[in-house]
Amino acid sequence: MRQRQKTPKTSKNSPIKNNNLSPTCNVATSEENTSTIKQITNFTEQISEKMLRLQPKHQKVNESLRAIRSQGVRLLGPGSKISQNSKAKLIALYQTAQKQCVSEHSTIMQLLDNIQTVRQLRLKQRMADKLSRGSLMILLAQHAATLPLYVGYIEGHPPPLVGAIPRLNGEPISVGHFVAAFSEDIWILGEVKAHIPTDYGLEYSIRDIDDEVEEEGGMVAGTSSSTNNNNTLTTNNEKLLTVDSNKVIALPHYRADPRRHAHALFPKGAIVLALYPQTTCFYKGIVETPPCGPNDDYLIAFEDSTFSTGYSPTLPVPQFYVLTFRDVSSSTICAYFNKNKRKTLSPETKETSSTSST
């Protein structure tokens, strides 16, 4: 399994945060948890209220559709002629049904927004805990699986950050959003913590998602072992990276439905940056098979010279973790692992992976 370099907790120069937090920090964390719990409770109550309002609206829509069907059968039968009065009644029925459909749609969208807000709050709550590597991988997989599906109108084009559609140039990435950030010659999964305006452009303060992951044997995963790195800042016992905006890629806000918005997905043969399974690192790869359904993953062949074909066997990667490729002179998977900064697959594991993929 590919994973980050392990750094001992007791390393003298390690910027890993101390488990024995100060009383002030403990109080702040407790207050934040209390606030999050209150927000979750509030939004959960709103979800219950909207669910109760949704059922009557759905019944009204069905009643309007039955009235239209009944009126249509009577007026549009063989040899029948539609009078102006009957035509006006039928149009009125359609207009009523349309208004009721819009009202139901509005309630459903509000309901989905509330559900997504609760999911985000619970994710924030879980990420604040000290997670084992296995728990982190499960959490990231669940987050990708529950990414909202874009629901648009029949006409129009999906907005930025739906599927493969990138964000608009110059538009800042919101605080709290997941990104791929180029740090120490590798694309890592991170979270935007703050914007840093500079004279020459915007920089982001990024928290490495893999920072402070508990390992077996009292080891902690980390990406840096020096406090003298100018691009690393430790604040409130949290290690942050300062990254230029041109080395940060926003992850999508929505999944794209291949049946309705196939143009919002990467096609077969597209070169992408994709999160390697069971890691928090993005690598260059090629799309072998795009998703066929809204819940399906991409099948990605990662560039890896240790295989005879130059690419790894195809591996499933969710839409959330497949991004437009950006070349900033990053190393290949093989070259990076040869520097002993990451663990690579053993020959036995590769053979097993190749067999399972076929």
pLDDT digit string, tens, across residues 146-161: 999 998 877 778 999 9
For residue 65, pLDDT beyond 80: yes
Q: Is residue 143 part of a domain?
A: no
Q: Is residue 135 part of a domain?
A: no
Q: 150, 255 in Cβ contact below 8 A?
A: yes
Shared-domain flag, residues 15 and 70: no
Q: What is the pLDDT of residue 298?
A: 98
- How confident is residue 23, by pLDDT bands cut at 50, 70 and 90? low
Q: What is the pLDDT of residue 152?
A: 80
Question: Of the residues 78, 113, 129, which one is the last residue of a structural domain?
Answer: 129
For residue 35, pLDDT beyond 60: yes
- How confident is residue 332, by pLDDT bands cut at 50, 70 and 90? low
CA 158 to CA 153: how far, in whole Å? Answer: 9
Distance of CA 157 to the CA centre of its chain: 20
Q: What is the pLDDT of residue 72?
A: 78
15-29, 125-139, 141-155, 236-250: segment of lowest average pLDDT: 15-29
Q: What is the pLDDT of residue 169?
A: 86
Compare 83 and 13 and report the one with higher pLDDT: 83
Q: Is residue 150 part of a domain?
A: no
Shared-domain flag, residues 209 and 111: no
* Type of residue found at 160: P
Question: Mean pLDDT across the chain, nearest whole number?
Answer: 80
Q: What is the pLDDT of residue 231?
A: 67
Q: Is residue 139 part of a domain?
A: no
Q: Is residue 52 part of a domain?
A: yes
Shared-domain flag, residues 10 and 50: no
Q: What is the pLDDT of residue 40?
A: 87
- Supply the range of the domain harboring residue 54: 25-129
Structure tokens at 234: 């430790």
Q: What is the pLDDT of residue 58?
A: 93
Shared-domain flag, residues 78 and 13: no
Q: Tell me: the pLDDT tens digits for 228-272?
A: 444 666 555 568 999 999 999 999 999 999 999 999 999 999 999
Question: Of the residues 110, 129, 148, which one is the last residue of a structural domain?
Answer: 129
CB proximity list for 324: less than 8 A, separation 6 or greater: 164, 166, 249, 272, 273
Compare 235 and 50 and report the one with higher pLDDT: 50
Q: What is the pLDDT of residue 282?
A: 96
Tally of domains within the chain: 2
Shared-domain flag, residues 9 and 67: no
First and final C-alpha spacing in the chain: 19
For residue 10, pLDDT beyond 60: no
Q: Is residue 147 part of a domain?
A: no
Q: Is residue 56 part of a domain?
A: yes
CA 174 to CA 191: how far, in whole Å? Answer: 10
- How confident is residue 301, by pLDDT bands cut at 50, 70 and 90? very high
For residue 22, pLDDT beyond 60: no
Q: What is the pLDDT of residue 294?
A: 92
Shared-domain flag, residues 223 and 250: yes
Mean pLDDT across the stretch 126-151?
89
Mean pLDDT across the stretch 156-172?
91
For residue 347, pLDDT beyond 50: no
Residue with tokens 């309901």: 111
Shared-domain flag, residues 95 and 167: no
Compare 276 and 156 and report the one with higher pLDDT: 276
Q: 246, 210 in Cβ contact below 8 A?
A: no
Question: Of the residues 129, 148, 168, which one is the last residue of a structural domain?
Answer: 129
For residue 24, pLDDT beyond 60: no
Q: 3, 342 in Cβ contact below 8 A?
A: yes
Q: What is the pLDDT of residue 28?
A: 53
For residue 351, pLDDT beyond 50: no
